[in-house]
Structures are given as C-alpha cells and as structure tokens.
Amino acid sequence: MVAVAALALLSTLGLMLVSAALAEARISDQHMRAVQAFAAADGGASEAISELDFRVKNFMPARVSKETQMQDVWAKGYADLLADYAYPPGGTPFTRVDSQRCRLDLHRDLETGSYDAVIEVWGIDRGWEVTVDEEYMWFDFGFSIESTGWSGDASRTVRTEGTFRLHVSRLNFARFALFTDVHESPGYAGGGTVWFTNRTAFTGWVHTNDHFSIYRNPRFVRGPLTQAERNVNFWSAGLQDAYECPPDKPELVDGARFYRGAEDGISKMEMPTSAYSQLRAAAGLDLTILDPPTNRELRQALGLPDSDSPLSTDIYLAHPEAQNRVTGGVLVVGDAWYLHFSVDGGNRAVYELRTRAGAVKVGSSWVPRTATITVDRENDRTTVVWSPFDPDRDPAERGKSSATQVFAGVPNGVIYVQGKIGDRDVLTGIRGQLGEQERVTVVAERTVFISGNLRYQSPPAGTPDAPNESDKPNMLGIYCVGRDGTPGIDNDVRIHSRLPEGDLTVHAVVMTPRGVYMVDRYSEIPPKGFVHHLGGVISKWYGPFGQFNPSTGQALHGYGRDFQFDYRVERMAPPAFPTTGRLVSYTEGGLKIWREELK
C-alpha cells in the first residue's frame, strides 16, 4: 500500500517537472521569437535608413543638377522633389501621399522571420537666397521610419525620426582649374590647335565648350575632364569618337574621369556677356535684379546728390547718403592706374587705388585721386584716406591735401572698375598681398595688367586629398569683362611685359570670357622664368605665355607655366564671381537622427 502511494507521488512529481519544462520551453521559444522579431525590425530600420541616405545623398542631388533653371526646381512641391528625383535607375520611386509628403514601403523575408518598413518623408521649410557670395535654395525635410519585425506570432516595432537638407545652387566658374570656350590660341597668337601633351598636367576640373587635342599621355588628377563635343582630336588619328587612340591616351588619376558630349551629360556652358550683377554688388544694390543699374540708382547707393547725371571719374565707396555705413564694395569710374593690396602692422587689409585721369581739381588742374582703404574686420570699421581730398565731399576739409573718413562696416569684397587697370607701356597694374581674411573680386570692363607678385597672405596649406581645416579664406578673383568677342587687348588679363627677369607668383582665379589670360608681348620679351599660378583660369581661348624650342625645350621668350590647383574652390569662391547655367546640389549634413523608440 505504501509502495503504491510512493509510486503515485513520484508520477505526480514527474508530471509536474515535465509540465514545468514544457512551460519553460514555451517561454524560451517566445523569448527567442521576440528577440528575432526585434532583430528583424532593427535590421529593417537600418536598411531603410541606408536606402533613404543613398537616395537623398546620391540620386536626388544628381538628378536636380541636370536641371538648367533654378525656377524649375523651386516650382516643385516637396513630394515632387522626392518622387521625381530621389530614386535609383530602375528603382521604385517614392509614392506621393499629398503635395507635402511621400512614402516608400520596404519588405524582406528572412530565415527567421520578416520585416515591413515604411519610410515617410515630408517638407518642413524652404528658402531662396541671393547674396554677394552665392545664389542658393534650400529645402528642409523631416522623415520617419517605422519598421516592424516578425518571427512566428511575435512582433516588435522600431521607430526612427530625423531631418536632412537639400542644397541647390549654381555652379560657379571658379570651380574650374581650366575652362576654355574655344580650345585654340587666339588669332593674334598665331591661332591654331592647343595640344595637351605628355608634359601637360592639371589637377581639378578641366573643361572646354569645344574639344580637346591629345598628344601622348597628358595627366589629369581628380578631374573631371569634360568637353561639350563628342569627338576628340588625337595626334595619331585626328578627330575620333573615342576616349583614347593609343598611343594618345589621357592619364586619369585619383578618380578623374573623361566625359564627352550630350551622351555623357555634358553640354556647352555659356560664358557671361555682362557684369551687371557685379556692378550692382559693388554699389550695394539688389542682386536679384538683372538689368543694369541706372545713374540715379548708383548715385543713391553711393551717397551722391540725387539726379540722372552720369558719375564723374573718381573712386567711390558704397554708402547711402543718410548712413555712415558701408553697404557694398568699391566703384572706380574710369580707368584705374593701379590697385595694390597690402597688410598693415595691425594685420588689417589695405587696398590702395588710383585713378588714371584727373578726378579732383586742385587749383586750375585736374589731378588723379588716390584712395587708401583700410579694412578693420575685428572692429567692423573701414577707414579711407583720400588724396587729394575733394572739398565737395566735406566742406569742413576744404584746403587740405588729404583727409580721412571712417565708416561703420566693411566692404563686401567687390571692386568694380569701369575701364582698365594699369598701362601697357608703364609698369603699373594690380599687385601686392591680399590679407588672410579677405575675399575679393576685381572686375574691370577692359584690360587688367598684373604688374608684380600677387600673393595671398596665407596660401592654402593642405593638398586636394588632405585639405587643411585651418586654411584662411583669402581668395582673389580677377574678372575682365571685355568689349566684344574679337581677339584684342581690351578683353584680356595680361602679365606685364616690363616686369624684371625672374619668376612671378599669381594667386587668383582669372576669368576672361571674351579674351585670354596671357603674357603681354610674349613673343618679343626675353625669357624671364616661370609664372607660378595658384587658382583657376576661365577664358575664351587658351592664352600664350612664351615660346620654346620644340626640339630642346629651351625657353626663347616669355614665361613658362606652373599652374597649381587651389582645392578650396571646391567649397568656396570669390564674392559675386560669375556662375554657369548649370545647377549643383548636395544633401547638407546627411541624415540627422534624433530619436529611436521601441514598441
């Protein structure tokens, strides 16, 4: 009897242990499925973030950049921007929910379950701004990602939210290491083909609206190398629809690529035909107006008596009459005899300009005006010493040979000359050292002569592959507007022929849309050395610098070229420097994720 009772007790205990084990197994299985469901949800969220990141950082900017008008991009709603631009070739576009919102659904089956992820993106805000530095649009987006993972009957949900910004602007001509409208020498330089040879090397973007001529293996670093025409002129084979015709083969280094014609997405980029925007910038006027400013507008902006009369030959600092604050840049009416940059003992930038013609009446004679402009950025102040002084500017100063005026604010960096700078037969023009905090664009309607070393106080210290984060912003643009499309001195930026023997340093982005950047009298002067140029060259034709014996390489006349790429133009440009009709776009800052929650 006792044995039977003991056996019954043991059976009951056994059943209890089995039940407990089964329950524990069920709990363990549910826990495992929950863990697997969370892993699936988390994996879905990660894949959704990667998909969104890939779309908005690669395909969206690339497609926006193919547009030619900023107005076309602005006219689109937030949902249209996402649905029309943010998808890979052959991929699924976003689905429009409404004019402000889109969504994209993702699903994937896994070995241990599956996930369903929903990406929703909506517009938050946008803006279109025009400054002396840039014309740009920005679009702010918010996004949420909700990913639900499944494993059996277990599910878990992960939610992620964040923001990103799409930035759209015009491609600045300063971005090019070399740009030619016609890849030939101008007529007065003998005309004819300009060959890129195995002695040619460029770092940065090289473009022509024409076609290149290739001899052997010219070297292009970083790139791209682009031409508007499809055919390439090879020394060994003539014009060919090919990227290379050995032994003529461009050497493409560090990611450089060669793109040709419309099939590669390359079209002609029109050169500017006016400098109205730059004139408006110098006067501190509205940059969104494309028409030339009237005399009355200029007078009001320069603090002169209100009338429709043309401005007299002189140097003007933009400041409305009612204000003692600089609101623009510097305007020179007539030719400038020289423009010198320097830095004073207090590390303040100094611009010294002198008119060529008489601007001030002293006794019975009209004499040129000199303006020495000191820019004190630390104290937001500009000091101008006028010599001789015009008593009409301030009757209290009558009788003085010079006088000083102090203005609040600092110039915007645009110096506009309604004439030429320098003289061909006297060593005068533009030279000096640009202060480390200065970004300046010098615009002249006619010839600009470089009359000496033109240096940055603090040149960039890094390399294109390893930029230096402590680089100073000093950057100079020289823009010769020119008179017409006929080759001639009025359209050029020229290195002065009367410079002494020795190397010359030029730090600047040079643009001559109707002419060339060249050495004056390059075929007559003796060999002098090399021009060490840091910055880009954008010109109608490819300008000559000197002549060499093709057999020995011996210099016969002029200068040799040593052109270096200023990698900073990939992220900045001189103020009010001309832009192309092409758009550039990028996602600023990537995806900013601020919260993640589990359900």
pLDDT-wise least confident of 291-295, 387-391, 543-547, 565-569: 387-391
pLDDT of res. 548: 84
Distance (Å, whole) CA 526 – CA 427:
16
Cis before 459 (ω within 30): no
Q: Which residue has the tokens 């946008």?
A: 126
Does residue 409 contact residue 373 with C-beta atoms inside 8 Å?
no
pTM for the model stands at 0.86
Which residues on adjacent β-strands are paired with residue 512? Answer: 539
Token pair of 519 as six digits? 């050495």
Name the range with the highest mean pLDDT among 135-144, 163-172, 491-500.
491-500
**Intra-chain end-to-end CA distance of the chain, in Å:** 58
Q: Rounded to the nearest 5°, which phi and psi values hold at 313?
A: -55, 120
pLDDT of res. 595: 46
pLDDT of res. 8: 53
Q: Rounded to the nearest 5°, which phi and psi values hold at 537?
A: -130, 120
- Mean of pLDDT values over 158-173: 92
pLDDT category of residue 462 using cuts at 50, 70 and 90: confident
Q: How many CB atoms lie within 10 A of CB 154?
A: 19
- Mean of pLDDT values over 220-225: 91
Token pair of 529 as six digits? 């050395």
pLDDT of res. 18: 45
Half-sphere exposure of 129 toward its Cβ, with a 13 Å CA cutoff?
9
Amino acid, single-letter form, for residue 345: G
pLDDT of res. 23: 47
Distance (Å, whole) CA 201 – CA 252:
10
Distance (Å, whole) CA 422 – CA 432:
14
10 pLDDT more than 60: no
Average pLDDT of the residues of the chain = 89
Q: How many CB atoms lie within 10 A of CB 6?
A: 10
Edge to edge, the sheet with strand 205-208 lists 258-260, 225-227, 205-208, 176-180, 537-539, 509-512, 475-480, 439-444, 414-418, 330-333, 314-317
Q: What is the maximum span of the chain, computed from C-alpha positions, in angstroms? A: 146
**CA distances in angstroms from 570 to 265, 482, 554, listed in the order given:** 20, 27, 36
Each residue's pLDDT tens digit, 373-383: 999 999 999 99
- Mean of pLDDT values over 259-287: 93
CA dihedral 562, 565, 566, 567 (to 10 degrees): -160
Distance (Å, whole) CA 12 – CA 417:
106
Q: Which residue has the tokens 């249209």?
A: 80
Residue 163: burial class (beta carbons within 10 Å; 0-12, 13-18, 19+): middle
Distance (Å, whole) CA 388 – CA 361:
9
Distance (Å, whole) CA 379 – CA 385:
18
Distance (Å, whole) CA 108 – CA 387:
78
pLDDT of res. 221: 93
Distance (Å, whole) CA 408 – CA 596:
49
Q: Which residues contact 135 (CB under 8 A, 6 or more apart)?
A: 70, 129, 169, 170, 287, 579
Each residue's pLDDT tens digit, 171-181: 999 999 999 99
Alpha-helical regions (H) of 246-364: 276-283, 295-301
Distance (Å, whole) CA 479 – CA 448:
9
pLDDT of res. 469: 83
Residue 590 C-alpha from the chain's centroid:
19
Strand ranges inside 173-231, DSSP E: 176-180, 195-196, 201-203, 205-208, 213-214, 219-221, 225-227
CA neighbor of 257 nearest in space, from 294, 297, 199, 205: 205
452 pLDDT more than 70: yes
590 vs 447, more confident: 447
Cα angle 371, 516, 561 (rounded to 5 degrees) comes to 95
Cα angle 531, 535, 540 (rounded to 5 degrees) comes to 85
